[in-house]
Amino acid sequence: MSTVDPAAARRERFERHRGTTGAAVAAVFSGILIIATGAVAGFGFAGLLDTFRLMELNSVFSTWESQMSSPFVWLPIGIVASIFSWWLYSTWNHRYTGDRMRFAGVGPLTLLTVGLAGGVWIGCLSWTAPDQVGMQIDPTFGEHEPWGMGAWIFYSAQWWLPALFALFAVLFFLLGIGGRRRATRRRELVSRLIVSGRRVQGSVTESTVPSSEASQMIFSLTVTFTDLSGTDRWVKRVVRYRTTEVPPVGAPVTVLYDPSAPGDESRIFFTTGSASDPEDFLAHEF
């Protein structure tokens, strides 16, 4: 038994790190760690791919053995380390911003892809050279065969594969900028509605059953409320909640909407908890 609200205690611990130097340093360090672990995974992926490319470039009677160092070891190590560093970066970046839905700087996916691009590039530089460019050399029977289209694709992968990962990194960076701009606009909208909009009580009409197998759940939540004209309205949103905090059907909610456009769902927000700050209405949006 506890005399302290656990949700309030978690929020207090979370808010304690907002804007602090320690949280910023931890976020930067873990961001560098994501790039490093992504590079390890990228190097391991390139090493694994080296074996398959040799099957295309060299004859079946030649060697298919990669000269790269332990490619089957670096990939799983990089994957596990990347998962950990992703979690670490997300934790400390969100603590620094004080917002579980927003990253300061760039998101972890962009950093991971940058690391993957670097690791793949280094790995491609270490690829095993084929017996002869353009020809499968048969050292046993002397029946040499020219490369087909697949072999040329594998051979040229040393250039286009790192470029592809770099392109993905740029794409994710641009998508992140767009997502942060959208989040900023929504936060500004909620801030205006807190001043000029209307807050009314509503209730949950459709929810989900909490699962004991997950710490968080993403699902559709439907709430209903009555606007100033007496019209009943229903709003459905995809939300993310901790499993222990999933609101059941009938749970009360606070609905914030624009009285000049009560039917505009893009200007309707709701929260099952506190309703004083913009983050309260945006914390569970997905």
Q: Is residue 35 part of a domain?
A: yes
Q: How confident is the model at residue 172 (pLDDT cuts 50, 70, 90)?
A: very high
Specify the number of domains making up the chain. Answer: 2
Question: Is pLDDT of 1 > 60?
Answer: no
Domain boundary residue, one of 129, 154, 185 = 185
Residues 204 and 147 placed together within one structural domain of the fold: no
* Exposure string for 99-137, b = 16+ CB within 10 A, e = fewer: bbbbbbebbbbbbbbbbbbbbbbebbebbbebbeeebbb
The parent domain of residue 171 ranges over 6-185
Maximum Cα–Cα distance for the chain, whole Å? 89
Q: CA 119 to CA 44: how far, in whole Å?
A: 8
Contact, 221 vs 237, CB < 8 A?
Answer: yes
- The H-assigned helical ranges of the chain are 6-15, 21-57, 71-97, 108-125, 149-196, 278-282
* pLDDT value, residue 8: 59
Residues 72 and 38 placed together within one structural domain of the fold: yes
Residues 116 and 225 placed together within one structural domain of the fold: no
Residues 61 and 165 placed together within one structural domain of the fold: yes
Residues 243 and 118 placed together within one structural domain of the fold: no
Q: Is residue 212 part of a domain?
A: yes
Q: Is residue 1 part of a domain?
A: no
pTM: 0.77
Residues 38 and 170 placed together within one structural domain of the fold: yes
Q: CA 266 to CA 257: how far, in whole Å?
A: 9
Residue linked to tokens 């979370």? 14
For the chain, the straight-line distance linking the first and the last C-alpha, in angstroms and rounded, comes to 33
Q: For residue 250, give the nearest of 208, 204, 207, 200 by alpha carbon.
A: 204
Lowest mean pLDDT among 186-190, 248-252, 276-280: 276-280
Residues 277 and 157 placed together within one structural domain of the fold: no
* pLDDT value, residue 2: 57
Domain boundary residue, one of 185, 216, 246 = 185
Contact, 94 vs 17, CB < 8 A?
Answer: no
* pLDDT value, residue 97: 84
Q: What is the mean pLDDT of residues 239-258?
A: 93
Q: Is residue 17 part of a domain?
A: yes
Domain boundary residue, one of 146, 165, 185 = 185
Residues 211 and 155 placed together within one structural domain of the fold: no
- The H-assigned helical ranges of 58-148 are 71-97, 108-125
Residues 94 and 143 placed together within one structural domain of the fold: yes
Q: Is residue 89 part of a domain?
A: yes
